[in-house]
Amino acid sequence: MAPFPIRSGWWILDRRQLSHDILNHIERLRIMHDLAREQDYSVIKKEELLTDLGETIRLLEANLRELAQ
């Protein structure tokens, strides 16, 4: 029996993609933070920003929970 779990290439690639997605969610949150701090709704309207915020937090949690499995 192997001393550690043997991971397939697909498993590694899936986790890498998941990690990439999580970091993109965080980057998105950082941009939302900057726009909200500056009260800059000239391009992204406030309602759109708040909708994006809810969706991004939902995806961030889902992806992080999956990564933690």
User: What distance in Å separates the CA atoms of residue 63 and residue 1, rounded to the nearest whole number?
Assistant: 31
DSSP secondary structure of 9-23: HHHHHHHHHHHHHHH
Instruction: Give the x/- contact pattern for another protein in 19-58, rule: CB under 8 A.
Output: -----x--xx-xx---x--x-x-xxx-------x------
Closer CB to another protein, 42 or 69, in the complex: 42
Q: How far is the CB of 63 from another protein (least distance, A)?
A: 15
Do the beta carbons of residue 35 and residue 53 sit within 8 Å?
no
The residues that touch another protein, with contacts defined as CB under 8 A, are 24, 27-28, 30-31, 35, 38, 40, 42-44, 52
